[in-house]
Amino acid sequence: MIKWYEESDAEVNRSIALITGENPDKWYPYGGVKGKDYCKNPSDAWPIICANKISLNPDSQSDSPQWQARMITQRGEWQADSASPLRAAMICFLLSQQSGEMAR
């Protein structure tokens, strides 16, 4: 299982692009087309957040500012934390896409 918390934003963005049918190999700097930044750009992330009903909440229990993303489907429940709410949501989405594995 990939440890998405340890991956860079670029790798998270690339993996989401592949899942959603984008071709990240055409993105700048290699292909010259501005790529999507699901971890930082709300207009790129929001369609995924809405379509998958990912909830975002501040983690008030933490000393450092953290966001918690949560997704519940018939296949399972996934949760991710990050200082960035969009990154937390995208990690949660990627966890839900891992084949047959339930992550929490």
Confidence of residue 4 (pLDDT cuts 50, 70, 90): confident
Say whether the peptide bond before residue 42 is cis (omega within 30 degrees of 0): no
Q: How would you list the strands of the sheet with 55-58, edge to edge?
A: 55-58, 67-73, 76-82
Express as a percent the part of the chain with pLDDT over 90.
50
Express as a percent the part of the chain with pLDDT over 70.
85
The residue ranking higher by pLDDT, 1 or 48, is 48
CATH of domain 39-99: 3.30.160
pLDDT digits (tens, 9 = 90+) for 39-89: 999 999 999 999 999 999 998 776 778 999 999 999 899 999 999 999 999
> Cα 15 to chain center, whole Å?
9
Confidence of residue 7 (pLDDT cuts 50, 70, 90): confident
Residue 91: Cβ-neighbour burial (10 angstroms; 0-12, 13-18, 19+) = buried
Domain ranges of the chain: 39-99
Separation CA 26–CA 17 (nearest Å): 11
